Amino acid sequence: MTKQIRTRFAPSPTGYLHVGGARTALFSWLFARHFQGIFILRIEDTDLERSTTESIDAILQAMEWLNLDYDEGPYYQTKRFDRYKEVIADMLAKGTAYKCYCTKERLEELRTEQQASKIKPRYDQYCLQHKPVDPHAPYVVRFKNPTDGEVSFADMIRGTITVKNSELDDLIIARTDGTPTYNFTVVVDDWDMKITHVIRGDDHINNTPRQINILRALGAELPVYGHVPMILGSDGKRLSKRHGAVSVMQYQEAGILAEALLNYLVRLGWAAGDQEVFSREEMVQLFDGSNISRSPAAFDPDKLLWLNQYYMKSLSPLIVAPVLKKQLQKLGIHDFRQTNLERIVEVQAERTKTLSEMAERSRYFFENIHYDEVAVHKHLTADIAKPLQVVREQFNDLSQWQTEAIHHVILQVAELCDLKLGKLAQPIRVAITGNTTSPPIDVTLLLIGKERVLQRLDRAIEIASA
């Protein structure tokens, strides 16, 4: 019987979930879902000074927004300290770990001597060979790393990686206050949680040989590792805040759809032929851990915006409209009774790339307009006042407020007043929206509603007459 796949996403809550972390979470989630496995969320919060509840909340919110549902967790390392102490005590008893009483001064002196001799700095196992002068003095616990041989593992992305044990150190697994360290807690957690595959960023690749040696010392079965290359900015350097790399939730704030961000992230270092657009179902079907690039991927904001506009146009307006509503509420708009949000999504998606941009460009559907002075001077001139008055009268007489009837009135008045269609439609657009850009004029008027159209025409006629 094939063993069930178990993957995990294990962020440290010392900041918000960023693009790189979100991609790691997505790859681990997809791998588990593809093989009908288990996906686990683990919060690695042993850095007590830097971990915050705000960061934990931000991580959980981002996972929920991206709909990366987890089957187990969230587990918190700070709630597993008794388990870590139990394992350390067992390792001390078996001799796979030992107490180190060396002072900071001795360690600094050792490091200086090794650097002067051009030897790679590593602990010299002094406390393994000498009894402590004072057994009650503060101590750390070190893992007894093998001194001979090598660590070799088959990385699912990079192939075979081999490191000599002589290159590794007897790393500290418990500090003087008894708190466990990162490399140790990760190993115990992966062991206890029966993780079969660890997909993570390649900034962890140097930790893997050390963790493998600890796992072997515990008699644990090794997971398969896959180290995903980093994400680069446009300048070829690691993606950071200076490139505009922000919290995942800031993309939501900016009006990016979760579907677009996930689609963009999956293509950062993974491919399935030439296909660019993937539904969530297609991602799960195709993502089997192969075809992940060994080379770093470059973050392209324009590509993300292209995908976002694609999803604004292709998703059901019933899905997009609630996101638009939240963006409008941030602008102080709360009355949606007179306007069809789904229809606004349909007519504005071609014209905007984010939902925040769509909301800003749709304000005139909901609130009193502010006229653009340049547009007023150019289009609401004295000679257009009379045609606008005729349009207003004929609109008022319409029994059915429909696009066909609205369009017919504009055509009829343009012909009656001997005007080209654009010479009348554009002043109407300025009169109704305050500006020169909008969806087709008949659709725009339909969505704004007859009563408000008449009110705005009255005001525009006053301006033009003056």
Task: Provide the annotated active-site residues.
Answer: 241
- Do 64 and 29 contact (CB within 8 A), yes or no? no
Could you tell me whether strands 297-298 and 159-164 are parallel, antiparallel, or unpaired per DSSP bridges? unpaired
3-state SS assignment for residue 78: helix
Bridge partners (DSSP) of residue 238 are 232
CA distances from 96 to 93, 103, 214, 342, 400 (A): 8, 22, 9, 64, 85
| Whole-angstrom distance, CA of residue 200 vs CA of residue 158 | 12
Round to whole Å and give the CA distance between 228 and 124: 33
CA distances from 25 to 8, 99, 217, 229, 240 (A): 8, 36, 29, 14, 18
CA-to-CA dists, residue 41 to 58, 61, 65, 436, angstroms:
14, 13, 15, 50
CA nearest neighbour of 265 among 7, 18, 34 = 18
Residue 253 contacts by C-beta under 8 Å, 6 or more apart in sequence?
A: 356
Tell me the pairing of strands 231-232 and 224-228: unpaired
Which residue(s) pair with 163 in the sheet? 151
How far is C-alpha 40 from the geometric centre of its chain's CA atoms?
18
Residue 362 in 3-state DSSP?
Answer: coil
- Residue 189 and residue 6 in contact, taking contact as beta carbons nearer than 8 Å: no
The sign one gets for the Cα dihedral 198, 203, 205, 207 is negative
Query: In sequence order, what E strands does 24-176 have?
Result: 38-43, 72-76, 97-100, 140-143, 150-155, 159-164, 172-174
Nearest-5° Cα angle at 328, 325 to 330: 115
Q: Which spans in 267-420 are helix H? A: 280-286, 301-314, 317-330, 341-348, 355-361, 373-379, 385-397, 403-416
Q: How far apart are CA 204 and CA 223, in angstroms?
A: 15
Q: Tell me the C-alpha distance between 382 and 405, whole Å.
A: 26
Decide: helix, strand or coil at residue 292.
strand
